[in-house]
Amino acid sequence: MSAVVISGKELAAKKREEMKQEVADLTAIGKQPGLAVILIGDNPASRSYVKAKQKACEEIGLHSVLIELPEDTTEAELLQQIGALNEDNSIHGILVQLPLPNHISEQAVIEKISPDKDVDGFHPISIGKMMIGEETFLPCTPFGIVEMIKSKQIPIVGKHVVVVGRSNIVGKPVGQLLLNEHATVTYCHSKTENMKEITKQADILVVAVGRANFIGAEFIKDGAVVIDVGVNRLDTGKLVGDVKYDEAKEVSSYITPVPGGVGPMTITMLLHNTIESVKRMKV
Protein backbone atom coordinates (compact mmCIF):
# COMPACT_ATOMS: atom_id res chain seq x y z
CA MET A 1 0.00 0.00 0.00
CA SER A 2 1.18 3.52 -0.66
CA ALA A 3 -0.58 6.27 1.26
CA VAL A 4 -2.58 9.13 -0.18
CA VAL A 5 -0.66 12.34 0.47
CA ILE A 6 -2.59 15.11 2.21
CA SER A 7 -1.01 18.19 0.69
CA GLY A 8 -1.23 21.13 3.05
CA LYS A 9 0.19 23.27 0.30
CA GLU A 10 -2.71 22.53 -2.05
CA LEU A 11 -5.39 22.83 0.62
CA ALA A 12 -3.86 26.10 1.84
CA ALA A 13 -3.81 27.53 -1.70
CA LYS A 14 -7.49 26.65 -2.17
CA LYS A 15 -8.50 28.19 1.14
CA ARG A 16 -6.44 31.35 0.55
CA GLU A 17 -8.11 31.84 -2.84
CA GLU A 18 -11.51 31.79 -1.12
CA MET A 19 -10.23 34.15 1.58
CA LYS A 20 -9.04 36.66 -1.02
CA GLN A 21 -12.65 37.21 -2.10
CA GLU A 22 -13.85 37.39 1.47
CA VAL A 23 -11.22 40.03 2.32
CA ALA A 24 -12.16 42.04 -0.79
CA ASP A 25 -15.84 41.97 0.26
CA LEU A 26 -15.00 43.09 3.81
CA THR A 27 -12.65 45.82 2.54
CA ALA A 28 -15.40 47.11 0.24
CA ILE A 29 -17.60 47.77 3.28
CA GLY A 30 -14.75 49.45 5.21
CA LYS A 31 -13.78 46.41 7.29
CA GLN A 32 -10.40 45.39 5.92
CA PRO A 33 -8.98 42.79 8.32
CA GLY A 34 -5.70 43.86 9.96
CA LEU A 35 -2.99 41.74 11.56
CA ALA A 36 -0.17 43.14 13.71
CA VAL A 37 2.94 41.03 14.17
CA ILE A 38 5.51 41.91 16.81
CA LEU A 39 9.03 40.64 16.33
CA ILE A 40 11.58 41.08 19.10
CA GLY A 41 15.28 40.69 18.45
CA ASP A 42 16.95 39.13 15.46
CA ASN A 43 16.34 35.38 15.58
CA PRO A 44 16.69 34.29 11.92
CA ALA A 45 14.05 31.53 12.19
CA SER A 46 11.55 33.94 13.78
CA ARG A 47 12.31 36.52 11.09
CA SER A 48 11.62 34.02 8.32
CA TYR A 49 8.31 32.91 9.94
CA VAL A 50 7.26 36.54 10.25
CA LYS A 51 8.16 37.23 6.63
CA ALA A 52 6.09 34.25 5.48
CA LYS A 53 3.11 35.51 7.49
CA GLN A 54 3.41 39.01 6.03
CA LYS A 55 3.66 37.66 2.49
CA ALA A 56 0.55 35.54 3.05
CA CYS A 57 -1.32 38.62 4.32
CA GLU A 58 -0.32 40.64 1.26
CA GLU A 59 -1.39 37.89 -1.10
CA ILE A 60 -4.96 37.89 0.16
CA GLY A 61 -5.23 41.67 0.67
CA LEU A 62 -5.08 41.70 4.44
CA HIS A 63 -3.70 44.82 6.14
CA SER A 64 -0.54 43.79 7.98
CA VAL A 65 1.72 45.73 10.29
CA LEU A 66 5.14 44.53 11.40
CA ILE A 67 6.48 46.01 14.62
CA GLU A 68 10.15 45.24 15.08
CA LEU A 69 11.58 45.79 18.55
CA PRO A 70 15.18 45.44 19.71
CA GLU A 71 16.35 42.46 21.77
CA ASP A 72 16.69 44.65 24.89
CA THR A 73 13.05 45.81 24.85
CA THR A 74 11.70 45.56 28.40
CA GLU A 75 8.63 43.54 29.28
CA ALA A 76 6.85 46.77 30.29
CA GLU A 77 7.55 48.35 26.89
CA LEU A 78 6.27 45.28 25.08
CA LEU A 79 3.11 45.13 27.20
CA GLN A 80 2.51 48.83 26.50
CA GLN A 81 2.85 48.20 22.76
CA ILE A 82 0.33 45.34 22.95
CA GLY A 83 -2.01 47.58 24.95
CA ALA A 84 -1.93 50.16 22.15
CA LEU A 85 -2.70 47.49 19.53
CA ASN A 86 -5.60 46.22 21.66
CA GLU A 87 -7.12 49.72 21.28
CA ASP A 88 -6.33 50.13 17.56
CA ASN A 89 -9.51 49.68 15.49
CA SER A 90 -7.60 48.88 12.28
CA ILE A 91 -6.05 45.82 13.94
CA HIS A 92 -8.13 42.67 14.44
CA GLY A 93 -5.38 40.18 15.23
CA ILE A 94 -2.20 40.49 17.31
CA LEU A 95 0.62 38.01 17.15
CA VAL A 96 3.84 38.14 19.14
CA GLN A 97 6.41 35.91 17.49
CA LEU A 98 7.81 33.36 19.93
CA PRO A 99 10.28 32.59 21.43
CA LEU A 100 10.85 35.77 23.41
CA PRO A 101 14.13 36.90 25.00
CA ASN A 102 14.59 35.32 28.45
CA HIS A 103 13.92 38.54 30.36
CA ILE A 104 10.33 38.72 29.07
CA SER A 105 7.59 36.47 30.47
CA GLU A 106 5.86 34.66 27.62
CA GLN A 107 2.75 34.11 29.73
CA ALA A 108 2.48 37.82 30.67
CA VAL A 109 2.69 38.73 26.99
CA ILE A 110 0.11 36.16 25.88
CA GLU A 111 -2.27 37.29 28.61
CA LYS A 112 -1.92 40.96 27.66
CA ILE A 113 -3.33 40.35 24.17
CA SER A 114 -7.07 41.00 24.17
CA PRO A 115 -8.90 37.64 23.78
CA ASP A 116 -10.89 39.43 21.01
CA LYS A 117 -7.65 39.77 19.01
CA ASP A 118 -5.93 36.55 20.08
CA VAL A 119 -5.67 35.05 16.59
CA ASP A 120 -2.93 32.64 17.72
CA GLY A 121 -5.40 31.12 20.19
CA PHE A 122 -2.83 30.98 23.01
CA HIS A 123 -4.64 33.15 25.60
CA PRO A 124 -5.91 31.14 28.60
CA ILE A 125 -9.45 32.36 27.82
CA SER A 126 -9.19 31.02 24.25
CA ILE A 127 -7.78 27.72 25.52
CA GLY A 128 -10.51 27.41 28.14
CA LYS A 129 -13.23 28.08 25.58
CA MET A 130 -11.69 25.53 23.23
CA MET A 131 -11.77 22.96 26.04
CA ILE A 132 -15.46 23.45 26.71
CA GLY A 133 -16.26 23.65 23.00
CA GLU A 134 -17.31 27.33 22.92
CA GLU A 135 -16.65 29.53 19.89
CA THR A 136 -13.17 31.01 20.09
CA PHE A 137 -9.93 31.42 18.15
CA LEU A 138 -8.46 27.96 17.74
CA PRO A 139 -4.66 27.61 17.80
CA CYS A 140 -3.50 27.64 14.20
CA THR A 141 -1.42 24.46 13.88
CA PRO A 142 -3.95 22.14 15.57
CA PHE A 143 -6.81 23.86 13.71
CA GLY A 144 -4.98 23.31 10.40
CA ILE A 145 -4.44 19.63 11.22
CA VAL A 146 -8.16 19.07 11.82
CA GLU A 147 -8.95 20.86 8.54
CA MET A 148 -6.48 18.59 6.71
CA ILE A 149 -8.07 15.44 8.14
CA LYS A 150 -11.57 16.67 7.28
CA SER A 151 -10.53 17.69 3.77
CA LYS A 152 -10.16 13.98 2.94
CA GLN A 153 -13.41 13.02 4.71
CA ILE A 154 -11.40 10.81 7.04
CA PRO A 155 -13.66 9.54 9.84
CA ILE A 156 -12.79 10.92 13.28
CA VAL A 157 -15.81 9.97 15.41
CA GLY A 158 -14.97 7.00 17.62
CA LYS A 159 -11.47 6.62 16.17
CA HIS A 160 -8.39 6.21 18.31
CA VAL A 161 -6.12 9.23 17.97
CA VAL A 162 -2.65 9.00 19.46
CA VAL A 163 -0.77 12.29 19.81
CA VAL A 164 2.98 12.07 20.38
CA GLY A 165 3.97 15.35 22.08
CA ARG A 166 2.12 17.44 24.66
CA SER A 167 3.24 21.02 24.09
CA ASN A 168 0.78 23.81 24.79
CA ILE A 169 0.85 25.01 21.19
CA VAL A 170 0.54 21.71 19.30
CA GLY A 171 0.23 18.41 21.17
CA LYS A 172 -2.28 19.26 23.89
CA PRO A 173 -4.63 21.37 21.75
CA VAL A 174 -4.66 19.01 18.76
CA GLY A 175 -5.72 16.18 21.08
CA GLN A 176 -8.42 18.41 22.58
CA LEU A 177 -9.78 19.46 19.17
CA LEU A 178 -9.97 15.83 18.05
CA LEU A 179 -11.64 14.90 21.34
CA ASN A 180 -14.17 17.67 20.59
CA GLU A 181 -14.71 15.83 17.27
CA HIS A 182 -15.51 12.67 19.29
CA ALA A 183 -12.27 10.77 18.85
CA THR A 184 -10.77 8.71 21.67
CA VAL A 185 -7.48 10.41 22.43
CA THR A 186 -4.24 9.14 23.99
CA TYR A 187 -1.16 11.31 24.57
CA CYS A 188 2.43 10.08 24.53
CA HIS A 189 5.41 12.12 25.72
CA SER A 190 9.00 11.74 26.82
CA LYS A 191 8.04 9.79 29.96
CA THR A 192 5.66 7.38 28.21
CA GLU A 193 6.52 3.70 28.65
CA ASN A 194 6.13 1.21 25.80
CA MET A 195 5.26 3.96 23.35
CA LYS A 196 5.32 1.70 20.33
CA GLU A 197 2.53 -0.45 21.76
CA ILE A 198 0.39 2.67 22.08
CA THR A 199 1.15 4.32 18.74
CA LYS A 200 0.49 0.96 17.04
CA GLN A 201 -3.14 1.24 18.17
CA ALA A 202 -3.69 4.60 16.51
CA ASP A 203 -6.18 5.02 13.70
CA ILE A 204 -4.86 8.59 13.46
CA LEU A 205 -1.29 9.23 14.64
CA VAL A 206 -0.23 12.84 15.17
CA VAL A 207 3.47 13.35 15.77
CA ALA A 208 4.73 16.65 17.23
CA VAL A 209 8.05 15.93 18.90
CA GLY A 210 10.72 17.92 17.04
CA ARG A 211 13.12 15.01 16.36
CA ALA A 212 14.11 14.19 12.82
CA ASN A 213 12.86 10.82 11.53
CA PHE A 214 11.80 9.73 15.03
CA ILE A 215 8.81 7.59 14.05
CA GLY A 216 9.41 4.67 11.70
CA ALA A 217 7.00 2.14 10.19
CA GLU A 218 7.28 -0.09 13.28
CA PHE A 219 5.31 2.54 15.28
CA ILE A 220 2.42 2.67 12.81
CA LYS A 221 -0.64 0.43 12.43
CA ASP A 222 -1.36 -0.75 8.89
CA GLY A 223 -3.74 1.72 7.26
CA ALA A 224 -3.36 4.46 9.90
CA VAL A 225 -3.53 8.16 9.07
CA VAL A 226 -0.20 9.84 9.86
CA ILE A 227 0.07 13.58 10.54
CA ASP A 228 3.66 14.78 10.82
CA VAL A 229 3.95 18.16 12.53
CA GLY A 230 7.72 18.12 13.03
CA VAL A 231 9.99 20.49 11.15
CA ASN A 232 13.67 19.58 11.52
CA ARG A 233 16.62 20.81 9.51
CA LEU A 234 19.33 18.23 8.92
CA ASP A 235 23.01 19.16 8.72
CA THR A 236 22.69 18.81 4.96
CA GLY A 237 20.17 21.68 5.03
CA LYS A 238 17.28 19.38 4.12
CA LEU A 239 13.97 19.85 5.96
CA VAL A 240 12.43 16.67 7.35
CA GLY A 241 9.58 15.78 9.66
CA ASP A 242 9.44 13.62 12.79
CA VAL A 243 8.26 10.66 10.72
CA LYS A 244 10.37 8.52 8.38
CA TYR A 245 8.28 9.52 5.41
CA ASP A 246 9.36 6.92 2.85
CA GLU A 247 8.68 3.92 5.03
CA ALA A 248 5.63 5.38 6.79
CA LYS A 249 4.05 6.03 3.39
CA GLU A 250 4.12 2.30 2.68
CA VAL A 251 2.10 1.30 5.77
CA SER A 252 -0.29 4.23 6.24
CA SER A 253 -3.48 5.12 4.35
CA TYR A 254 -2.96 8.92 4.43
CA ILE A 255 0.15 10.91 5.27
CA THR A 256 1.23 14.56 5.42
CA PRO A 257 4.58 15.48 3.86
CA VAL A 258 7.30 17.77 5.24
CA PRO A 259 7.64 20.37 3.82
CA GLY A 260 4.29 21.16 2.23
CA GLY A 261 2.11 19.55 4.91
CA VAL A 262 1.06 21.07 8.21
CA GLY A 263 3.26 24.18 7.82
CA PRO A 264 1.29 26.00 5.08
CA MET A 265 -1.97 25.25 6.89
CA THR A 266 -0.74 26.93 10.08
CA ILE A 267 -0.39 30.31 8.36
CA THR A 268 -3.67 29.77 6.53
CA MET A 269 -5.56 29.31 9.79
CA LEU A 270 -3.92 32.48 11.14
CA LEU A 271 -5.40 34.36 8.16
CA HIS A 272 -8.73 32.61 8.77
CA ASN A 273 -8.75 33.68 12.43
CA THR A 274 -7.95 37.30 11.53
CA ILE A 275 -10.85 37.41 9.07
CA GLU A 276 -13.12 35.78 11.68
CA SER A 277 -12.08 38.43 14.18
CA VAL A 278 -13.40 41.21 11.92
CA LYS A 279 -16.66 39.37 11.44
CA ARG A 280 -17.10 38.99 15.20
CA MET A 281 -16.49 42.67 15.95
CA LYS A 282 -19.61 44.64 16.79
CA VAL A 283 -18.49 47.85 15.04
What's the rounded Cα separation, in Å, for the pair 84 and 193? 48
Q: Which is nearer to ligand NAP, 121 or 171 (CB)?
A: 171
Catalytic, out of 53, 159, 221, 249: 53
Using the contact rule CB under 6 A, the part of the chain among 25-33, 93-101, 106-114, 184-192 near ligand NAP is 184-192
- Least distance CB 52 / ligand NAP (angstroms): 10
Q: Which is nearer to ligand NAP, 258 or 278 (CB)?
A: 258
Return the residue of 139, 171, 173, 257 that touches ligand NAP, per CB under 6 A: 171
**Known catalytic residue: 97?**
yes
Phi-psi region of 30 (alpha: psi -120 to 50; beta: other; left: phi over 0): left
- Least distance CB 31 / ligand NAP (angstroms): 28
Return the residue of 73, 126, 256, 266 that touches ligand NAP, per CB under 6 A: 266
Q: Which is nearer to ligand NAP, 229 or 278 (CB)?
A: 229
Number of residues that bind ligand NAP (CB under 6 A): 23
- Least distance CB 26 / ligand NAP (angstroms): 26
**Known catalytic residue: 120?**
yes
Catalytic, out of 15, 81, 97, 244: 97
> Using omega within 30 degrees of 0 as the cis cutoff, is the peptide bond preceding 259 cis?
yes
Indicate whether 190 belongs to the interface with ligand NAP (CB under 6 A): yes
Indicate whether 50 belongs to the interface with ligand NAP (CB under 6 A): no
Indicate whether 216 belongs to the interface with ligand NAP (CB under 6 A): no
Indicate whether 149 belongs to the interface with ligand NAP (CB under 6 A): no
Return the residue of 118, 263, 272, 276 that touches ligand NAP, per CB under 6 A: 263
Indicate whether 191 belongs to the interface with ligand NAP (CB under 6 A): yes
| 29 backbone dihedrals φ, ψ, rounded to 5° | -105, 20
**Known catalytic residue: 238?**
no
Using the contact rule CB under 6 A, the part of the chain among 87-95, 197-205, 227-235, 246-254 near ligand NAP is 227-235
What's the rounded Cα separation, in Å, for the pair 127 and 180? 13
User: Which residues contribute to the site for ligand NAP (CB under 6 A)?
Assistant: 141, 164-167, 169-171, 188-192, 208-210, 229-232, 262-263, 266
Query: Catalytic amino acids?
Result: 53, 97, 120
